[in-house]
Amino acid sequence: MTEEIIIAGFGGQGVLSMGKILAYSGIMNNQEVSWMPSYGPEMRGGTANVTVILSDERISSPYLKVFDTAIILNQQSMDKFEESVKPGGILLYEPQGIYQHPTRTDINIYQIEANKLATEMGNKKIFNMVVLGAYLKIKPIVELENVLDGLKKSLPERYHNLIPLNEKAIHVGMDNLKTKIFQEKTVTI
Amino acid sequence: MSELKLMKGNEALAEATIRAGADAYFGYPITPQSEVIEYLMSERPEKRTGMVVLQAESELAAINMVYGAASTGKKVMTSSSSPGISLKLEGISYLAGAELPAVIVNVVRGGPGLGTIQPSQADYFQSVKGGGHGDYHLYVLAPSSVQEMADFVEDAFDIAFKYRTPVLILSDGLIGQMMEKVVLKDQQERLTDEEVIKRYDTWATTGKTNRERNIITSLDLVPEKMEARVHKLMAKYKKMAEEDLRYEKIECDDAEYLFVAYGSSARIAQKAVELGRAKGIKVGLLRPITLFPYPKQQLFELADQVKGILSVELSAGQMVEDVKLAVEHKVPVEHFGRTGGIIHTPEEVLEALEQKIIKNGSIRHHKTRESSIL
Amino acid sequence: MEVLDIIKPENQVFCKTKLLTDATLSYCPGCGHGTAHSLTMEVVEEMGIVEDTIGVAPVGCSVLAYDFMNIDMTQAAHGRAPAVATAIARLWPDKYVFTYQGDGDLAAIGTAETIHACNRGEDIVIIFINNGIYGMTGGQMAPTTLEGMMTSTSPFGREAKTMGLPIKMTELIANLPGVFYATRQAVHTHKHARKAKKAIRKAFENTRLKKGISFIEIVSNCNSGWKMTPNEANKWMEEHMFPYFPLGDIKVNGKLK
């Protein structure tokens, strides 16, 4: 099994850290992983993206053109990566700020209103964990247990008190995933 | 007692440097390798192992601190990225001339000039053809994974002391910035001052005892003596080629076509091999792990087996010259690579093989033969 | 009595320090480098620290200092001696590390290394020979060349408006907190040489205190570069160099004079 993922959005949305937690989870799951970020000035307030690969085999290229899954968190990233999803692949996006919704019909499109949900939970910073939860609902490539272990590994110890909140956010994400089968009709699953 | 971690290439290299028992690191920040000195500073190596870490006032100062530290017989490293390496080249030439062991890391970004901070492999010529002034080479290791960023540190120090030569770890922004699983080796004890003196008292500035004084210099104003120095360096390089050449062959056994790529491009080319094989194209990959010495003989032999070779590099075409020299016109050799900080995708690499080699290969081959008869 | 009858060990009243080799000095007759070399080596010998002393030679006339000083030495790239010495002192913290540099090396191409080593307060000695000219390359203008002084690259005299005024490095670095001792000396007479030797000894002793740089400028001559006889050069130095570069201590024990 190999899962090739691009996560893209604004710097500050937790794009890189979501990828890092996913990569850590893969390690906890005894998989090979790679995490390849965009870096430099474009991170600061601009767009940020990270390619994460989880695989049972040795990973060749950490840099890819097409992906099994694209997790899209802003319009610029939608413009850039909608076409990069493999046919039959997954596009998960946060609709706030998206004015041109995806139009492809050969891929599976999902929505997660992570901004709204995180605000309702009282902590906007766990936005990315809500998105991660939604993704894991679609593709449970790693056990929740591994994700929590991954969180422990990637968070400095002084933040370990926030792990229960992060876990809750993952569940909120899992429970509020919407699938967008047709452009005009959104169904909750 | 190895330890599994998820780390950036730059961080893995820094941690491996502490664990290799290095005595000192001198550097100056530059993207995309600033994590090396940031990591070292945050790890308090002066407390962990007694290692000296200092942010110099410039790359010039940093490489000359390396020169000073190396002259004491201790294990020293510096790292930088392309424009910073250009500044360090004077000092690197001095290190080679004075026969000092040191490890230099270049996490390459695009150029020329200030260029871009994005990944590139356009410092190949600078790295393997000398770079600085004079008749010298560096032993050049090209890691293509985070694991190798860590592993090559110890290998580099071993070679540096085996030959008393500066060693270059030629990485790039992609390998430096990406995170992968890495298994770290146990901490090696740093040599004590007494051990350094015992081992290297024959040449290092350890303080003059009853022996003749030790002088570290690259200067020789007597032409015959200077020529002898140069010949001594050349003998080292020959020995390196005989004893310490490193390369990896991937899917080469039945290959009809061949990619040659190192570092990050080798990773991308490996994926292109997978994509090509899935389409029924028998393609393999030769990955030089050392760029100096270079696997010339291996390429020469593979040229008898394959129909054409594509050299893949994030540059406008530098390593391709060495590939051509090695295969001696036996088969067509072409270059493919993106520049400016753009990373070529595996699909692009495979397409380049199909367009430049498979489609045109036989015609070109024929023409070459014809013109050589005329 | 023949000369050879006189040369006997029992008649010896003075000899050069053992820490100077028997190599013939490459300096011009009358040059101050030879004196500065022997004073430095005498201090090392008298302190009994030869096993613990490491010198750093510059690029300039004294590039071959290691041919004459019988101690472990490293020859640095042009201007980078303070960086080289920084690393040696950091890695051998119990040793006495010094640089020996000229004005082009220390005050032009190596200004950044000089200032930053001083600013970090490295526990090293810097011996700075200032003769107001580039000797090794054949008499070009130095950063310390006096106004109006003719050199091969200021053939009509140094013009302040286009070439700047000579830089007073010792005063400049004395203002940095990392500098513990800064003094300006000369070596052209016995009197001056004795004082300079005291200063060099104090500088070497200071490095044990771990309180920062000891910086000794020696104003010297360059009779070849100045195109004078040695005596004329010394006289000219007293009349022209000393007023602009006055001798004496500038900072002692971390306090400005």
**Contact yes or no for C249/C160 (Cβ under 8 A):** no
Whether residue A27 lies inside any domain: the answer is yes
**Mean pLDDT for chain C?**
96
Q: How confident is the model at residue A40 (pLDDT cuts 50, 70, 90)?
A: low
Per the structure, the count of domains in chain C is: 1
Q: Is the pTM of this model over 0.90?
A: yes
Element housing B247 (H / E)? strand B247-250
pLDDT of amino acid A94 = 95
- C48 in contact with B at a CB cutoff of 8 Å? no
Chain C residues within an 8 Å CB radius of B77: none
Q: Do chains C and A touch (3 or more CB pairs under 8 A)?
A: no
Give a yes or no: residue A149 inside a domain: yes
Question: In this structure, how many other beta carbons lie within 10 angstroms of the beta carbon of residue B56?
Answer: 24
Q: Do B60 and C73 touch (CB under 8 A)?
A: no
Q: What is the pLDDT of residue A182?
A: 44
pLDDT (average), residues C152-162: 95
Provide the number of structural domains found in chain A. 1
Task: Quote the percentage of chain B above a pLDDT of 90.
Answer: 94
Note whether C73 contacts B68, CB cutoff 8 Å.
no
- Whether residue C80 and residue B66 make contact (CB cut-off 8 A), yes or no, is no
Confidence of residue A181 (pLDDT cuts 50, 70, 90): low
What is the rounded (10 degree) CA torsion for C11, C16, C20, C24?
-80
Return the CATH number at C193: 3.40.50.970
Residue C18 burial (C-beta neighbours within 10 Å; 0-12, 13-18, 19+): exposed
CATH architecture of B3-198: 3-Layer(aba) Sandwich (3.40)
Chains that touch C (3 or more CB pairs under 8 A): B
Whether the per-residue pLDDT at A177 is higher than 60: the answer is yes
**Which residues fall within 8 angstroms of residue C188, CB to CB, at 6 or more apart?**
C32, C35, C220, C221, C234, C237, C238
Question: How many angstroms separate the CA of residue A60 from the nearest CA in chain B?
Answer: 5
Q: Do chains B and A touch (3 or more CB pairs under 8 A)?
A: yes
Q: Tell me the C-alpha distance between B294 and B323, whole Å.
A: 9
DSSP C38-62: HHHHHHHHHHT-GGGEEEEE-SSGG
The rounded distance, in Å, linking the Cα atoms of B245 and B253 is 20
Q: Could you tell me which residues are beta bridge partners of residue B104? A: B78, B168
What does the pLDDT read at residue C75? 97
Which pairing describes strands A178-182 and A185-188: parallel, antiparallel, or unpaired?
A: antiparallel
Q: What is the ipTM, given to two decimal places?
A: 0.91
Ranges of each domain in chain B: 3-198, 247-373
CA of A178 to nearest chain B CA: how many angstroms apart?
A: 31
User: Would you call B60 an interface residue with chain C, using a CB distance cutoff of 8 Å?
Assistant: yes
Is residue A183 over pLDDT 70?
no
Domain containing A149 — which CATH number? Answer: 3.40.920.10
The CATH fold of domain B247-373: Rossmann fold (3.40.50)
pLDDT digits (tens, 9 = 90+) for B175-195: 999 999 999 999 999 999 999
- The pLDDT tens digits of the residues spanning C214-238 come to 999 999 999 999 999 999 999 999 9
Question: In the structure, what pLDDT confidence band is assigned to residue B361 with cuts at 50, 70 and 90?
Answer: low
Strands C125-130 and C213-219 come out as parallel
pLDDT at B39 over 90: yes
Residues spanned by the domain of A66: 2-111+139-163
> Is the Cβ pair B346, A64 closer than 8 Å?
yes
